[in-house]
A = this chain, B = another copy of it.
Amino acid sequence: MSKPTSPAASDSPAFVIPPAPPGSARAQTVRDLNTARSLVSFPVDKLSNIIHGSPDVMKRKKELLALIESDPVFSKANRHHGSREDRMLRSMQMSKRLIEIRDAHKLSDADMWTLRALVDETIVITLHEGMFLPVLRSQCSPEQAKYWIPLAEQYKIIGSYAQTELAHGSNLSGLETTATYIQETDEFEIHSPDITAAKWWIGSLGVMSTHTLVQAKLIINNKDYGPHPFVVPIRDPETHVPFPGVRVGDIGPKMGFNLIDNGWILFHKYRIPRTNLLMRFSQVTSKGQYVKPPHAKLAYSGMVFVRTNLVRMAANALAKAATISVRYAAMRRQFTVVNTAKQQIGMRSSDETPVIMYPMVQARMFPRVAEAYATLFTAQEIESMYHDMMHRLESFDVSTLPAVHANSSALKSYCTGLALDGIEELRRACGGHGFLMSSGLPYLMANYSPNVTYEGENQLLTQQTARYLLKQLHKHQTQSETLHPMVEYLELVSLGGIKAQCTGVSSPTDWFNPSVQRAAFAHRAARLVGELAHQISHEGIPFADLNVECARVSVAHSQFIMVSSFHNTLHKLLKQDASMAVYPALKLVADVFALSEMLKNVGDFTEDGYLSQAQVKCLRQAFKTALHDMMKDAVGLVEAWGYTDYELDSAIGRSDGKIYEALLQRALDDPINQKQGGKGVAKGYQEYIRPLLKGERAPVKLAKL
């Protein structure tokens, strides 16, 4: 029964995928993607310019891509196979090569950011570039800058930024590492009192750094001045062996980011010169005198910059996942149901249905596309606030710092969460293939994942936002201070607006009115801030008992800002002739975003009677219509971001539509298959499989059972 009789078949070791037969599912995917492109209602390049600011960005990206695309060092083939050691070696190799390319072509910092984004790996020099250098630039005194910065820029030293400790992440004031001033030798002694003081998570430290910037409690004459940054040489420049008094290593494999050497370090009474304290803001004199910074919050600007940047990166990451998923949904077909979308497009009822035509797929994917746009336009607003703030700081005007700090924190928290949840939802919406590394989605998700934790844990950040909002409300109510546009809804709290009902909606189309949308988010944010203030001032609940309420307020505030930012952007576009062709499509995206955000938390809008049952019904109907209408533009909306196939590294999101060939080709090229085109015998057969099949059981020590 088990022996087959079989006619001869083509059994050459190399299996070449034959061309797609006409009428096959393979021919269909290519055709479907082109059809989807032909339906797009706007010029994609115009939208691309709005996203990137100018056509030069895309042009430059392509030039830079040409530098690495065919370099085997940067090949993405089999990037998911190697051991952690293999990955670290690749990471070093890529790092070295990038610097060589930089020097040979005299590339700018901006070019290097673009190149690293193309490579799409967080590598062993990423934190040297991303933290070590920026902190040196912002916290060195002029003489220090002259010494350290050229060394770092030329990679004569490699550095990292060591703040977090094994037992203390978010709580900076709980750090245990000390830097004690020793006047006799004019040195600081860096010391880790226990292993819980080990610096931990420090990128570029595990194997690469020659130096690290240590945040340690500054102690002078037994007095603790709190955490300060010190440049600490840790490895011998000639041998790379850690110096006596230093123990340093990698913290081990992670969910993602396995090409970077997140490291740990312990110090044992380790001495550095006094002048290694970064002295732009605070100083210690050789007499052991501490000189305070002119403004306690000046050092915050770096943090604000990073958080602002993370908002834009959230938009990029989400758009990347959306590009893969939406293309796949336009190509993948499943089942022969008949629904309205299929009928409208004139398909036969017997044709299998492109999954993008299912309302459920639209509801899973299109709001994510809209979120990417909303996040981008919000990033653009917060970036210009940041630049204005930096300009003011030059003349020590710190007046806008609290607003920029609070809003960048709220948005870092909300937008990175939105992006991670969105990427994962897009991945799941691709079904089984979304679980394959060759889809590109799991790697994107895993590597994006730490964004919700680093640079301020997302839930923790919401406490700061809430504090800021409470303060603004208090100031407004007691000092009639003019409200910043981003919090102008707080006016409603005092005007009795928190008892309002929505008046602008009596049909679904009313929900497409921007003022109706904005009023709803304003009302809801105002009501929640008002309730929080009431709980503290009238009910006497301690602030620390109100974590969940603070988070709710921060979400409401962030959503208000994002909906407003989108509206502001549309308003600006309306004034530009060149943008008129994309306006209707983007207006629809704005509607999908606003309505989706409202439906996610619809209870917030109904529980106080702001919306009636009929209005919620209209809301759901409007949302459904908007999703349905967005279908024709979906592929154009993702392709406007301009992600190349090299960046996407996705078999199912390919721009040529040949998804099934690509999936199989990746499998054929897999080392496990030993490149024998599906005719080979597995490594391990002799040791493990054959003995099993032949009943050759090894003796097992019979433990007591």
Contacts and interface: CB of A to CB of B under 8 A. Distances in A.
Contact of A693 (B11, B210, B663): B210
Nearest to A673: B249
A656 interface: no
17 contacts: A1-B147, A26-B196, A80-B253, A81-B85, A85-B683, A88-B672, A93-B688, A96-B689, A246-B678, A247-B679, A249-B678, A251-B663, A337-B544, A359-B547, A360-B459, A607-B611, A607-B616
Q: When A and B form their complex, which 5 residue pairs have the shortest distance between CB atoms, in order from nearest?
A: A247-B678, A602-B603, A255-B442, A360-B547, A207-B682
B211 A2 contact: yes
Given A435-B450, A692-B99, A360 B249 contact: no
Copies in the complex: 2
Interface size class of A (residues with CB under 8 A): 35 or more
A273 B3 CA distance: 9
Of A9, A248, A446, most B-chain CB atoms within 10 Å: A9
Given A239-B681, A247-B15, A9 B268 contact: yes
A211 to B, nearest CB: 7
Contacts of A695: 154-156
Contacts of A85: 81, 671-672, 683
Given A1-B276, A85-B672, A660-B195, A689 B245 contact: no
A268 B10 contact: yes
B169 A252 contact: no
B249 A170 contact: no
A106 to B, nearest CB: 9
Nearest to A546: B359
A239 B210 CA distance: 54
Of A340, A666, A697, most B-chain CB atoms within 10 Å: A697
Nearest to A207: B682
Contacts of A11: 244-245
A571 interface: no
Interface in A646-701: 660-661, 663-664, 666-668, 670-673, 677-685, 687-693, 695, 697-700
A264 interface: yes
A52 interface: no
Interface stretch (A17-25, A289-297, A505-513): A17-25
Interface string A168-200: 111100101000000001010000011110101
A689 B337 CA distance: 59
